[in-house]
Amino acid sequence: MPAVNPGNLSRRIESVLMLLGEPRRFARACYELLEFYADRTKRRNTATGHVETARVLRVSRPVLRTLCNEIQHFTHEEEADWLEAAELMWNTGVREGRFVAACLLNKAAQENAPICAEAWAETCEDVVALERLASDGLSVWREQDPDVFLQVLTRWIDDHRLQVRHLALLLIANASRDSTFDKYLPETFRILHGISAKVRGGSVQSLYGLVRQLAKRSPAETTKFLLDEIKAGHPGVKRLIRNTIESLPDNYREAFNRTL
């Protein structure tokens, strides 16, 4: 990977963005930019010792952050171009390309955002890319129409496609960090009813992380939700509690002493 010169990087990004009116040329130039800053050293995952299996160019975070910031602030009136460019970048199949796709989707016509995200998520096995789609690709849509957002979440949580359900969990986790989220907590817990029986694979850890987050935000409502799930007898609920109970204050943990 070449050394990053901020001035050169900004000029390269500017020249790429000027091609947005021709989405195919833009996507080709953007991918070439990512490849230029790629780190081709094969590394092992420090946690597992395994080589990364997702298609990753290992572009540095400062480069990606600068690129996405420039996209966010770039002005281009043709919303269809944003959407086509987003599709093309997602279809590269490369993690960094999908990061860029998420940023582009956030600038497209927002009625298309959940449609694209659902289609993209269906075949995406890269949890990191899904997380970026939830945070950077759907934030404008979520904030523009919270009621529609909750309706879509309800549908996605019950979807037969595992990765679509996973995206829904990641979206809730992202939304729950907002200061205005408290008013949506009752509806959120309604949406999550029975979720412990629906998760598989990587989405299990995402569910645990989400419930730990909710427990810190609202221990009373999270405790009530978990107790209701126990009464309903949903498979996996005790495992869910064991993996999240440490995030609850001591006085709330006591409610589970006889159930675990």
Q: What was the pLDDT predicted at 1?
A: 57
CA distance 196 to 213: 16
Rounded Cα distance, 202 and 162, in Å: 10
> What is the pTM for the complete model shown?
0.90
Q: Which of 145, 220, 149, 241 is nearest to 188 (CA)?
A: 149
Contact 123, 134 (CB under 8 A): no
CB-based burial, 72-97: b 16+ in 10 Å, e otherwise: eebeeeeeebbbbbbbbbbebebbbb
* Mean pLDDT on 9-19: 97
Any idea which fold 145-260 has?
1.25.40
Looking at residues 160-181, what average pLDDT do you find?
A: 95
Tell me which residue of 230, 160, 156 sits closest to 191, measured CA to CA: 156
**Predicted confidence band of residue 4 (pLDDT cuts 50, 70, 90):** confident
Cα–Cα separations (whole angstroms), residue 43 to 39, 98, 144, 233: 10, 21, 41, 44
Instruction: Return the top range by mean pLDDT from 2-6, 27-31, 106-110, 140-144.
Output: 27-31
What percentage of the chain reaches a pLDDT higher than 70? Answer: 93
pLDDT, one tens digit per residue, over 52-91 is 557 999 999 999 999 999 999 999 999 999 999 999 999 9
Cα–Cα distances in angstroms (integers) from residue 81 to residues 20, 21, 87, 160, 188, in the given order: 7, 6, 10, 31, 34
pLDDT per residue as tens digits for the range 189-242: 999 999 999 999 989 999 999 999 999 999 999 999 999 999 999 899 999 999
Burial 217-239 (b: 16+ CB within 10 A, else e): ebbebbbebbeebbeeebebbbe
Among 12-16, 47-51, 64-68, 170-174, where is mean pLDDT lowest?
47-51
3-state secondary structure the chain: CCCCCHHHHHHHHHHHHCCCCCHHHHHHHHHHHHHHCCCCCCCECCCCCCECCCCCCCCCHHHHHHHHHHHHHCCCCCHHHHHHHHHHHHCCCCHHHHHHHHHHHCCCCCCCHHHHHHHHHHCCCCHHHHHHHHHHHCHHHHHHCHHHHHHHHHHHHCCCCHHHHHHHHHHHHHHCCCCCHHHHHHHHHHHCCCHHHCCCCHHHHHHHHHHHHHHHHCHHHHHHHHHHHHHHCCCCHHHHHHCCHHHCCHHHHHHHCCCC
Q: Which of the two residues, 179 and 126, has the higher pLDDT score?
A: 126
Residues of the chain with CATH 1.25.40: 145-260
